[in-house]
Amino acid sequence: MSTATPPEIKADRPVTPQVLAPSRLRPRRRGENSLGTSLVSHAVLIVASLIALFPVAWLVFLSLGPDKDDYLHPGGIWGKMTFANYTFVLQETKFLDWLLTTMVVVLGTTLIGVVISATTGYAVSRMRFPGYRKFMWVLLVTQMFPVAVLMVPMYQILSSLQLIDTYLGLILVYCSTVVPYCAWLMKGYFDTIPFEIDEAGRVDGLSPFGTFTRLILPLARPGLAVAAFYTFLTAFGEVAFASTFMLSDTKYTFAVGLQTFVSEHDAQRNLMAATAVLIAIPASAFFYLVQKNLVTGLTAGGTKG
């Protein structure tokens, strides 16, 4: 009976391990969206952007129509586009006077309102004086009164002070409406700044006002940007107070001047559209200046610590 002999194993022949081919599918990292999710999200964002831009593009398109009834048949604008509406608004109306009034009132309201709001918010955030909590609630209550209720007493006060049809009178009226909200906004933002910074300023010999201006305000720049933007837009687009307290047509703000193109028997919508496009330029420029700090300021005031 013969037995099979095993094959001879050569010692000088190395055994190479089997190398697996790398997988073509890269594992998805944590937080990384799939291709389908990315496509859907981008599609939604594109559609939302188009929806947001459509009214602006439509307004610009209507402003290029020479006739006041072109909005009824907008397809006919393509063959007769012109910038005559902008020329008429700039040369034949009091647009430049409205621009001066608007800039004086809006910038004055923004400057005074932000200063008062910042000092008020800092005082309530850092100092514990008697009635500081009730003071903030009083500011909040003032926001609950409708414009129609405030119109008559404000008119009587401005009339007694001889501030009717003046820039200062309208600025003070606007400050009375924006300061309460901005004071709450700045108080919430100052609460996020560590109190140790104030203590360090006092150790260095700074007064409370010096600590506020030299240490706290530079850190509160995003909150100041949000307050300034809110104040700017509120004063820029307000109509009721401006149309009541500014009597001269050369002292109309943009919001009031825009209404002059529509009367009981006529509506020059082409000129209104052109004026609206021109009005949007200062607001867009101001937004561009403060946009870097807007997101930070809007989110930081909601948390503390």
- Rounded Cα distance, 143 and 23, in Å: 64
Low-confidence ranges of the chain (pLDDT < 50): 1-2, 9-11, 20, 23, 301-305
- DSSP-derived letter for residue 2 is -
Q: How many CA atoms lie within 13 A of 140 on its CB side?
A: 10
pLDDT of residue 113: 94
pLDDT of residue 29: 64
pLDDT of residue 146: 85
Domains by residue range for the chain, with CATH = 42-76 (no CATH), 94-299 (1.10.3720.10)
Q: Where are the alpha helices (DSSP H) in the chain?
A: 35-63, 84-92, 95-126, 132-141, 147-160, 167-190, 196-203, 208-211, 217-219, 221-237, 240-245, 254-257, 269-300
- Rounded Cα distance, 48 and 69, in Å: 30
Tokens of 161: 């002070």
Q: Give CA 256 to chain center in angstroms.
A: 21
Tokens of 288: 């561009």
Q: Give CA 235 to chain center in angstroms.
A: 13
Tell me, yes or no, if the pTM score tops 0.85: no
How far is the CA of 62 from the CAs of 54, 70, 93, 193, in angstroms? 12, 7, 19, 48
